[in-house]
Amino acid sequence: MQIPDINPDTIPDVATRQIVIQLLNVIETLAAENAALRVEIQHLRDENARLTGRSAKPDIKPPTPPSPPPADHSSEAERRTRTPRSKPTKNATLTVTHEERCVVDPATLPADAVRHGTTEFIVQRLHMAVEVVRFTRDVWYFPSTNTTITAPLPPGYQDGANVSRPALLTFLRDVGLTIGTGTVARMLLDPDGFWADEAAAIHQTGLATGSWVATDQTGTRVHGQNEVCHVVGNALFTSYHTRPGGTRQDVLAVLKHPDIPLHNNAMELAARRRVR
State whether 243 and 230 are in the same domain. yes
Cβ atoms of 205 and 215 closer than 8 Å: no
CA distances from 214 to 113, 217, 241, 273 (A): 62, 11, 14, 9
- Determine, yes or no, domain membership for 250: yes
DSSP lists the bridge partners of residue 214 as 233
- Determine, yes or no, domain membership for 59: no
Q: Alpha-carbon distance 150 to 152, whole Å?
A: 6
Q: What is the C-alpha end-to-end distance of the chain, expressed in Å?
A: 37
- Determine, yes or no, domain membership for 243: yes
Residue where one domain finishes, among candidates 50, 65, 82: 50
State whether 182 and 211 are in the same domain. no
CB atoms within 10 A of CB 228: 19
State whether 233 and 180 are in the same domain. no
Cβ atoms of 247 and 232 closer than 8 Å: no
Residue whose C-alpha is closest to residue 123's, from 103, 97, 104: 97
Residue where one domain finishes, among candidates 173, 191, 209: 191
- Determine, yes or no, domain membership for 154: no
State whether 184 and 255 are in the same domain. no
pLDDT digit string (tens) for 25-79? 888 889 889 989 988 898 888 888 778 777 777 777 777 777 777 666 555 555 5
Residue-number span of the structural domain to which 165 is assigned: 161-191
pLDDT digit string (tens) for 157-204? 654 444 678 888 888 888 888 888 888 888 888 777 778 888 888 898
Cβ atoms of 228 and 220 closer than 8 Å: yes
Q: Regarding predicted confidence, which is higher, 92 or 46?
A: 46
State whether 165 and 199 are in the same domain. no
pLDDT digit string (tens) for 73-89? 555 555 566 666 666 67
- Determine, yes or no, domain membership for 2: no
Residue whose C-alpha is closest to residue 177's, from 164, 190, 168: 168
State whether 187 and 224 are in the same domain. no
State whether 186 and 223 are in the same domain. no
State whether 186 and 199 are in the same domain. no
DSSP lists the bridge partners of residue 243 as 228
Residue where one domain finishes, among candidates 191, 208, 233: 191
| Kind of pairing between the strands at 225-233 and 139-142 | unpaired
Instruction: DSSP letter for 233, please.
Output: E
pLDDT at 264 over 60: no
Give residues with Cβ within 8 angstroms of 240, minimum separation 6.
229, 230, 231, 232
State whether 248 and 179 are in the same domain. no
Q: Alpha-carbon distance 197 to 13, whole Å?
A: 74
CA distances from 13 to 4, 16, 23, 70, 165 (A): 20, 5, 15, 52, 69
- Determine, yes or no, domain membership for 81: no
- Determine, yes or no, domain membership for 12: yes
State whether 166 and 232 are in the same domain. no
DSSP lists the bridge partners of residue 221 as 226
pLDDT digit string (tens) for 191-230? 777 788 888 888 989 888 878 888 999 888 888 888 999 9
Q: How many residues does the chain have?
A: 276
Cβ atoms of 274 and 211 closer than 8 Å: yes
Q: How many domains does the chain have?
A: 3
- Determine, yes or no, domain membership for 101: no
Give residue 239's Cα distance to chain centre: 12
pTM of the complete model = 0.40
State whether 205 and 254 are in the same domain. yes
